[in-house]
Amino acid sequence: MDNNKRPDSMERITTKELADAFIAEQIDLVKKQVGNKKVLLALSGGVDSSVVAALLIKAIGKQLVCVHVNHGLMRKGESEQVIEVFQNQLDANLIYIDATDRFLDLLAGVAEPEKKRKIIGGEFIKVFDEEAGKLEGISFLAQGTIYPDILESDGVKAHHNVGGLPEDMQFELVEPVKLLYKDEVRVVGKALGLPSSMVDRQPFPGPGLGVRCLGAITRDRLNALREADAILREEFDNAGLNKTVWQYFIAVPDMKSVGVKDSKRYEGWPAIIRAVNTTDAMSATIEEIPYSILNKITARITAEVEGINRVLYDLTPKPVGTIEWE
């Protein structure tokens, strides 16, 4: 039987009961696979890696070593939430690395999107490798592979998607949610007791805010982007739009326009709101957001965020525009 093929008889996990049964079954399988050895996991704070972490903590406790690398391009409060949930609440064996300076120094002056992505991805692998190299006796590598990953790659997922671990480090993989669809992973996460802010979080690109701080990233503009994005998310949550809009975020381009503050003219960046709906990310439609909410978001961002003096709304569907700007 192909281990990467979802059995036709497998019921879609939609309830807590089904999720609990799945969790119990996976705990057994993981214990059998791992025995008393150690497992390494790159914990990004995304849905898939968080659910895998919570499940493995339940199965093998401190035998799981989680490494969370903060590349300085996370959304506001995300790394803090990883520490709060996993270290403080679940008592995980968590290694937290704040590599902000390392990443931002490498990205200084780099404007080309593809180059930025390569730098961020490559450095992430390096940081993770360095940490893995310091650890003794790791026999397994856990990954948050889910079923669409397997389908998209014809059953061959790049097994180093956490990074190009040195070839002499041959780990056996632990992939407890690899036969689940995204909605099922969320149900399992809730059954494991993870907060909905983590389980229901939006898709977030690997390079993080790096592809939304358009052009060459500067710390002040990145900070403005992070603060504006947090306001957008908070207001969408308050209005219940987080239930109806699939993905929404801010992009801040590397350009300034003139504005007025305290009756003085000053130059600031525009914050561009992107809010789209999609079923498969191949195409996307634009949501109608009530003007009253857009006005409130605009008032808050321009009043509260240093350096931003305009708020724009991106009306472009996909195709023509991609979901992300870069």
- Distance, in Å, from the CA atom of 77 to the CA atom of 79, rounded to the nearest integer, reads 6
- Distance, in Å, from the CA atom of 146 to the CA atom of 318, rounded to the nearest integer, reads 25
| Same domain, yes or no: 96 and 224 | no
> Average pLDDT of 109-120?
96
Q: Please say whether the dihedral angle defined by the alpha carbons of residues 227, 233, 236 and 239, taken in this order, is positive or negative.
A: negative
- Residue pLDDT, tens place only, 88-98: 999 999 999 99
Of the candidates 296, 324, 298, the residue with the CA atom closest to the CA atom of residue 310: 298
**DSSP code of 225?**
H
- For residue 1, tell me if it sits in a domain: no
Q: Which domain-ending residue is among 154, 176, 199?
A: 199
Q: Residue 161: its pLDDT value, please?
A: 44
Q: Residue 197: its pLDDT value, please?
A: 87
- For residue 27, tell me if it sits in a domain: yes
Percent of the chain with pLDDT over 70: 94
Q: Which CATH number belongs to the domain containing residue 29 in this structure?
A: 3.40.50.620
- For residue 207, tell me if it sits in a domain: no
Q: Residue 193: its pLDDT value, please?
A: 96
| Same domain, yes or no: 35 and 142 | yes
| Total domains, the chain | 2
Question: Can you give the residue range of the structural domain that contains 104?
Answer: 16-199
| Same domain, yes or no: 226 and 309 | yes
Q: Residue 184: its pLDDT value, please?
A: 95
Q: Residue 162: its pLDDT value, please?
A: 45
Q: Residue 58: its pLDDT value, please?
A: 97
- Residue pLDDT, tens place only, 22-60: 999 999 999 999 999 999 999 999 999 999 999 999 999
Under 8 Å CB-to-CB from 20, ≥6 apart: which residues?
Answer: 191
- Residue pLDDT, tens place only, 242-259: 989 989 999 999 999 999
| Same domain, yes or no: 25 and 156 | yes
- Distance, in Å, from the CA atom of 232 to the CA atom of 61, rounded to the nearest integer, reads 37
Q: Residue 205: its pLDDT value, please?
A: 86
The mean of the pLDDT values for the chain is 92
> Average pLDDT of 284-311?
96
> Average pLDDT of 196-221?
92
Q: Which domain-ending residue is among 160, 177, 199?
A: 199
Under 8 Å CB-to-CB from 35, ≥6 apart: which residues?
Answer: none
- For residue 190, tell me if it sits in a domain: yes
| Same domain, yes or no: 115 and 164 | yes
Question: CA 208 → CA 4, 71, 156, 196, distances in Å?
Answer: 29, 9, 25, 20
Q: How confident is the model at residue 171 (pLDDT cuts 50, 70, 90)?
A: confident
- For residue 271, tell me if it sits in a domain: yes
Q: Which domain-ending residue is among 138, 164, 199?
A: 199
| Same domain, yes or no: 237 and 191 | no
| Same domain, yes or no: 26 and 108 | yes
Q: Please say whether the dihedral angle defined by the alpha carbons of residues 148, 197, 100 and 115, taken in this order, is positive or negative.
A: positive
